[in-house]
Amino acid sequence: MELFDNLLMGLSTAVQLKNLGFCLVGVLIGTAIGVLPGIGPIPTIALLLPFTFGMEPAGAMIMLAGIFYGAQYGGSTTAILVNVPGETSSVVTCLDGHQMARQGKAGTALAIAAISSFFAGTVATVVIALLSVPLAALALKFTAVEYFSLLVLGLIAAVVLAHGSVARSLAMVFLGLLLGLIGIDVSSGAARMTFGVPELSDGIDFVPVAMGMFGLAEIIANLERPAERRVVSQKVRDLIPSRADLRAAFPAMVRGTMLGSALGVLPGGGAALPPFSSYALEKKLAKDPSRFGHGAIEGVAGPEAANNAGAQTSFIPLLTLGIPANALMALMIGALMMQGIQPGPQIMREQPQLVWGVIASMWVGNLMLLVINLPLIGLWVSMLKVPYRLLFPAIVLFCCIGTYGIANSLFNVWLMLGCAAVGYLFIKVGVEPAPLLLGLVLGPQLEENFRRAMLLSEGDFSVFLTRPISALLLGAVALALLAMLSPAILRRRQEALAE
């Protein structure tokens, strides 16, 4: 069995002592920032990028991946104990998880959340292993034409799945594409919109934009709201759920995992979509929907499984096609390129140790989270007592140093400052910055493939429709856009995305 050979090879990389160490460091940092509201995995990974420069590629990717899924675990702890989502992905866990905590079942809620996440993580690891090989084989047949159509599909999916207005998100994609065009044009050597700044000739760095718009702008907006944070001050006990609890939670866990795995693969699928959809599904399937919102255990198990499965399967487009499914995966691409590895379909053949090592490490990391997380609950709770007035200046400082450290350039710090101001404007006028980031990252690839496709077809635009795979992909784009315009689906989407 090739599948098991691959997984075993990966496992042998993942259980090397130093990689186990990196995995542990990653999931611990991830849980910590997941627990803390107001700092997410994007600024953290951006901050740690310079650290990974001297590491081996496998170790670096294992650690960064650990931060990502570790944050999903941590976010739900805060959601259950404080009723504040530590991460956007754990917003729904607040609904029933916190109710369970108030009924004295905090331990059960935490345990079910952890077990669901572990179960989903295990299944998702197998899903990645199963899908990666055929997808990578398919991707090797891709020419510039198919790549262009795939990138368009990814960008449109980002719009469809984003919160808020479709027109606004589409505009943000184009704004991101424009930013991505900054720099010296590869084929002609002409400087485009560089303002004569030498730092811009290689293009705009992704990290200062992400840190400014996600990290700093969020902090400013957070400070405007009145602070309110209360920890459930009961002792967390009964960490082992009863058999009846498990039996009630298990079907929801399975459904959440399937839903999350499917939604995670979609490019542009944000962190919020899988748990929201799973919650809606569980509520619809329940015999007595009125229990939801009052501590229904399925309302914790389903979304938690969905969010963890989605977090992991969002690695599939990155590993097989070299296309990031979301802003976080774009950072992962940055990390790979810093290591001198060009992401794309060839990565599976050329770097099997790395790819399968990272995949296997996800399962190892999930196991670590299950084992270490529950006993460490006390530590995470005490971290929540660090007041925000101390936390945010520290984040501001680390954002500054981290942005500077990526290229040792003060220009990037100024760029981050500008992006923070623009990000604040975006929050005020109600637009999401995520589509912009995706546009910025995919922009250069989009232009490159578009140019090459046009060169091959001698300027004939119909080539995108006459090649079957490309036509299929663009058909999906058209379908998604048409669906967005139809009023019935528009209404249902608003219901689904409404909190």
Partner 1 sequence: MTRRALDWRDLILGLFLVAVATGALWMTRRLPIGSAADMGPGYMPRVVSLALLGFGAFFLLRGARHAGAAIEPVHLRPLLAVLLAVGIFALTAERLGLAIASVLTVLLAGLATRETRPLESIGFAILLSGLAALLFVKVLALPVPLWPR
Q: Where on the chain is the footprint of partner 1 (CB under 8 A)?
A: 50-51, 167-168, 170-171, 174-175, 177-178, 181, 185, 187-188, 190, 192-193, 195, 216, 219-220, 223-224, 227, 387-390, 392-394, 396-401, 404-405, 408, 410, 413-414, 416-417, 420-421, 424-425, 428-431, 447, 450-451, 454-455, 457-459, 461
- Please answer whether residues 173 and 159 qualify as being in contact, where contact means their C-beta atoms are separated by less than 8 angstroms: yes
State which residue, 250 or 450, has the beta carbon closest to partner 1.
Answer: 450
Instruction: Please report how close the Cβ of residue 334 comes to partner 1 at its closest, in angstroms.
Output: 17
- Please answer whether residues 74 and 374 qualify as being in contact, where contact means their C-beta atoms are separated by less than 8 angstroms: no
Q: Give the contacts of 317 (CB within 8 A, at least 6 positions apart).
A: 154, 265, 267, 323, 324, 325, 329
State which residue, 129 or 177, has the beta carbon closest to partner 1.
Answer: 177
Token pair recorded at residue 117 = 């996440």
Instruction: Please report how close the Cβ of residue 454 comes to partner 1 at its closest, in angstroms.
Output: 5
Q: Give the contacts of 201 (CB within 8 A, at least 6 positions apart).
A: 183, 184, 191, 194
Percentages helix, strand, coil for the chain (3-state, rounded to 5) are: 75, 0, 25
Between strands 191-192 and 183-184, the pairing is antiparallel
State which residue, 220 or 239, has the beta carbon closest to partner 1.
Answer: 220
* First-last CA distance in the chain: 45
State which residue, 9 or 171, has the beta carbon closest to partner 1.
Answer: 171
State which residue, 365 or 423, has the beta carbon closest to partner 1.
Answer: 423
Burial of 233 (0-12, 13-18, 19+ CB in 10 A): exposed
Instruction: Please report how close the Cβ of residue 260 comes to partner 1 at its closest, in angstroms.
Output: 32
For 153, the enclosing helix (H) or strand (E) is: helix 144-161
Instruction: Please report how close the Cβ of residue 64 comes to partner 1 at its closest, in angstroms.
Output: 16
Q: Which long-range contacts (CB under 8 A, 24 or more apart) does 238-246 make?
A: 238/105, 238/107, 238/108, 239/107, 239/110, 239/111, 239/374, 239/377, 240/111, 241/108, 241/111, 241/112, 241/115, 242/108, 245/108, 245/112, 245/297, 246/112, 246/115
Q: How many CB atoms lie within 10 A of CB 264?
A: 28
d(CA 323, CA 298): 34
CA 144 to chain centre: 26
State which residue, 186 or 371, has the beta carbon closest to partner 1.
Answer: 186
Instruction: Please report how close the Cβ of residue 418 comes to partner 1 at its closest, in angstroms.
Output: 9
Instruction: Determine the angle formed by the axes of helices 166-181 and 434-456, rounding to 10 degrees.
Output: 60
d(CA 275, CA 306): 5
Instruction: Please report how close the Cβ of residue 383 comes to partner 1 at its closest, in angstroms.
Output: 16
Helix runs in 15-56, H state only? 17-35, 41-52
Instruction: Please report how close the Cβ of residue 82 comes to partner 1 at its closest, in angstroms.
Output: 18
Which one, of 116, 135, 137, lies nearest residue 127 by Cα? 135
Beta bridge partners of 183: 192
Instruction: Please report how close the Cβ of residue 171 comes to partner 1 at its closest, in angstroms.
Output: 4
State which residue, 250 or 388, has the beta carbon closest to partner 1.
Answer: 388
State which residue, 15 or 417, has the beta carbon closest to partner 1.
Answer: 417
State which residue, 51 or 250, has the beta carbon closest to partner 1.
Answer: 51
State which residue, 192 or 349, has the beta carbon closest to partner 1.
Answer: 192
- For residue 472, CA distances in Å to 133, 255, 345, 401, 469 come to 21, 28, 20, 45, 5
State which residue, 114 or 144, has the beta carbon closest to partner 1.
Answer: 144
